[in-house]
Structure 1
């Protein structure tokens, strides 16, 4: 798997990957598909994104991971978002992306990376735990667009040169 920084030209393909995940439902707080322009603004070159990495498998995007300042996090903190292609699923995309994201976080001088995960996203909760994120807060009964309440689990990773995520299984 090849990891590289995302560029504006990736927006259409990565947006398609993300929209497939959104339409499948159940794993992301995003519920409305994005346009390629919205995707670029949110994840690549808008006001809030800090960095976005793409994982390529057989010269095709397998997933992406971004750090952003959306939602005005405290100084020294950034939010992470990780998305892996649904079909065909490729194991290990998130594990492959995290070292590049962690290195970027260190270069940016971040102290913490925050992940906010839907409580019903079992795979997402397991992924962030495996990468070394620790729970620190919970948002109770955040309504989905249809009104269904779903908790959000907040986990964070301390950016520290001495500490690295668990090695791939």
Structure 2
């Protein structure tokens, strides 16, 4: 698996990957599919994306991970989003992406990476725990588009800033 920075030309394939996850439901707070242009704006080259990395396997994009300043996070924080292809599945996508994201967070001088995960997203909660994210807050009963209330668990990762920054 090869990890690299995302480029605008990746938006079509990545929006398809994300839309499959959105339509499957149950793991992402995103509930409305995105066009390729919306995807590029949200995750690659819009106002809020800080960095986005993709994982490739045999020229297929199998996942992506982004850092964003959307929603005006506290100073020194950025939000992370991680998505891996549902079909076919490729184990280890998130683990492969995180070192590049962590290095980018250090370069950006971030103190924390924030992950806000649906409480019913068991695999997402397990992934961020394995990556060293610690729980620090909970948003209670956030309604989905259909009105179903689902808690959001907030976890953060302390970025170790190198001595020369």
Q: Normalising by the residue count of structure 1, what TM-score does the alignment of the two structures yield?
A: 0.95
Structural mapping, 1:4-153, within 5 Å: 4-153=4-153
Alignment match, 1:2: 2
User: 2:111, 2:161 within 8 Å by CA — same for their partners in 1?
Assistant: no
User: 2:52, 2:64 within 8 Å by CA — same for their partners in 1?
Assistant: yes
Rounded to whole Å, the distance in 2 between the matches of 1:53 and 1:27 is: 20
Rounded to whole Å, the distance in 2 between the matches of 1:121 and 1:161 is: 30
Rounded to whole Å, the distance in 2 between the matches of 1:117 and 1:87 is: 22
Rounded to whole Å, the distance in 2 between the matches of 1:160 and 1:21 is: 32
Structure 1, unaligned runs of 5 or more? 163-169
> Runs ≥4 in structure 1, deviation > 2 angstroms?
none
Q: Tell me how far 1:23 sits from its aligned partner.
A: 0.3
Q: What does the per-residue CA deviation read over 1:111-161, in whole Å, with 9 as the maximum and x for residues that have no partner?
A: 000000000000000000000000000000000000000000000000005
Say how many residue pairs are matched. 162
User: 2:109, 2:161 within 8 Å by CA — same for their partners in 1?
Assistant: no
The secondary structure found in structure 2 opposite 1:94 is helix
Give the direction of change, closer, same or farther, for the CA distance of 1:161–1:109 in structure 2 (3 Å limit): closer
User: 2:142, 2:151 within 8 Å by CA — same for their partners in 1?
Assistant: yes
Q: Tell me how far 1:50 sits from its aligned partner.
A: 0.2
Q: Alpha carbon RMSD of aligned pairs, Å?
A: 0.8
Q: Normalising by the residue count of structure 2, what TM-score does the alignment of the two structures yield?
A: 0.97
Q: What does the per-residue CA deviation read over 1:16-46, in whole Å, with 9 as the maximum and x for residues that have no partner?
A: 0000000000000000000110000000000
Moved more, 7-16 or 153-162: 153-162
